[in-house]
Structures are given as structure tokens and as C-alpha cells.
Structure 1
Amino acid sequence: MVDFDVVDLPDTDHVAEGETAPDFTRPLVNEEFWEDAALSDLTDEGPVCLVFYPMDGSFPATYIWNELRDRDLGDLLTVVGVSISTPYAHKRLIEERGMDFDLFADPGNGVARDYGVANDLDGMAGIEEARPATFLLDGDRTVRYAWVAEEWPDFPPYDDLEDEIRTLVD
């Protein structure tokens, strides 16, 4: 039995396929340390799957990262996350989930706003986080595939995402 309500999210004007993804610099956390990094630093090395997700510790975050980890998508290209969680919370999530993915810390949610995927948290004035979204970017930061949640909770269509990744890197 589902113990939460499924809620339709408002329409959003998010970054779309064919557009250039906004560049940004934020703390990038891995299993050992974190340092400021730009998205363009990652795309300069090849395609990137940019994954927006709710704060660390939420069931959607856990589910999304378990699924991506289990599919070994990081073997095909750089997979990197963005959420409002702090570097300390990211470090814990990476350790607890056994993840090989790096995570951008965006506590002010500015990156999600720039991408059009900010989500006001129900009942909490002035509090927002990213709605689940995935953007597949080529080396020029051109969006080759975009998926943005239309309801809460909603999860990326992992099979479609994996197909798009394999098409891009093959």
C-alpha cells in the first residue's frame, strides 16, 4: 500500500533537447573529497548524464541512485548528480550506497532553477529542491535527451535513458 499521495507537478519551462545546458560551478563531491568544479570541465572530457534529484536521504534519491548504480551506467559515460544537499550529506550518501558517482552540492537550488526543474516543497514556504530530472549532454553541453518529472514521486524511464546513453556513446 502506498503511504503517500501522488501529486501532479506544475508545468515547467525546463532546458530542452537541442539547447545548450547552462554551465555552473559548485562543490563536486566524490568518495574522498570535494572541490569546486564546473560542469563544462566534465563535458570537456565527453558526454555527461546530469541527474537532478531530491535531497539525500529521501526515498526518491535512494531509489534513483540504486537504479543508476545497478545499471553500471558510469562505465559508459560520466554520471553526475545535483541536489540541495550539502557536501557532508553527499559524502554519506556515496558511502552508504556504494556509489561511484560524483555529486554537485547546490544548497541554494540555483542550478535547478537555471535548468527549470526547481520544485517548491509542499507546505513549506520558501523551501524548494530539484524535481527528479535527467539531462544527457554531449561534449558541447548540447542536450541530447531530457526527462523531467511531471508528478511526485516520479522516476526517470531508466530503460529509455540507458538506450539514449548507449546511442550517444556508440
Structure 2
Amino acid sequence: MDLGFEVVDFAESDHVEPGEQAPDFTRPLVNDEYWADASLSELAAENPVLLVFHPMDGDFPATYIWQEVRDRDWLEYDAQLVGLSISTPYEHKEFIREWNGFDEFQFFSDPANSVAEEYGIVHDLDGMAGIAEPKPAVFLIDEEMTVEWAWVAETWPDFPPYDAIEAELAEL
């Protein structure tokens, strides 16, 4: 079966695990109206955060991930849904504008990919020297900044276990 793309195995990662402290960071947080610097700890102090690392905006896995999240209506749960990628705030604004229903989400912008480094989920893009992005990953972080649940992709493309995430959100 010709998929039209190559499946790539990721190198094993030493990522943040459940029970460990989530690395805090401050980056531009983009919504449908504006963006401003925000820290993960500020968000987590209000409600648990479901932090979804995804490929750059416009890449089909990023679009697919957020369409699935939108269609499952995870906004009904007691957690803040926040994306993070190497895309700039301008690219996030376009991503939100382009897709119906994405205006309910917020996205951290991390063009240097340093947050993915802190979380242990960096993926060097093949054939592009010095260019990296986060592996697809999901971390559920509580108000004390403890990782309650985590998933990190093992291949590209790989998609989060949506049913398992939904079960974790339902437990909140």
C-alpha cells in the first residue's frame, strides 16, 4: 500500500514522565484575537492543562490532530487545551483563522523549539540542517505543575490516543 509518505521511526526519547514536574516556560500564547507572553504555570494555576505538542501549522498531522480535538469537543472538560509548535504567532493566527472551530484554542509559539528540548521530545527534521520540531506529544499537567498523564509519538506520522486522553479528561 502506497501511503504517499514515508513512516519514520523516532529515536527513543527521555521525556518528562507522569509524576514528574513539568518544565515551566513563558512564550507567546496566541488566540483568535491577540497574543501575549504567558507561562504554563499561570495557566495551570487556574485549571489543569492539556498541553498538545504538534508539528508546524499547515502540516497535515497538526491539522488532523486539532480537527479531532475540535470534533471531540474537549472544551467541555475541566482543563485548558493548549497547543505548542515551532510556528510563529503569525502562523498560529492564520492556522486559527483557516480552520472552523479552532478559534476556541490557544497555541504557544516556540520557533526555537526550546520547550520541546526541556520536555525531551525534539525531532530533527530530515534533510534540514539545524531545523527541529517537537514530536507529537500530549501532557496533562495539574495545578501543581505535576505531569498526570503523558503520551509521546514513536513514529511519524503518529497520532495521540484520543480515547485514552478523553478518559483522562473525564476523570478531572
Normalised-by-shorter TM-score class: over 0.9
Q: Could you say which residue in structure 2 is the equivalent of 1:83?
A: 85
2:37 alignment partner AA: D
Deviations 1:65-97 (A, max 9, x none): 000011111221100011000000001111212
Counterpart of 1:134 (choices 121, 125, 138) is 138
TM-score, normalisation: structure 1:
0.97
Deviations 1:97-144 (A, max 9, x none): 221110000000000110011100011111100110000011111111
CA distance in 2, matches of 1:31, 1:46: 20
- Report how many aligned residue pairs link the two structures: 168
Q: Where in structure 2 are the equivalents of 1:63-142 lying within 5 Å?
A: 63-76=64-77, 77-97=79-99, 98-99=101-102, 100-142=104-146
Unaligned residue ranges in structure 2 (runs of 5+): none
Report SS of the residue matched to 1:88: helix
2:121 alignment partner AA: V
* Pair 1:150-2:151 in alignment: no
CA distance in 1, matches of 2:113, 2:75: 24
Coordinate RMSD, CA, aligned: 0.7
CA distance in 1, matches of 2:22, 2:61: 24
Deviation of the 1:7 alpha carbon: 1.1
Q: Percent identity?
A: 60
Runs of 4+ in 1 over 4 A off after TM superposition: none
* Pair 1:39-2:40 in alignment: yes
Report SS of the residue matched to 1:12: coil
CA distance in 2, matches of 1:124, 1:110: 17
Deviation of the 1:164 alpha carbon: 0.8
Unaligned residue ranges in structure 1 (runs of 5+): none
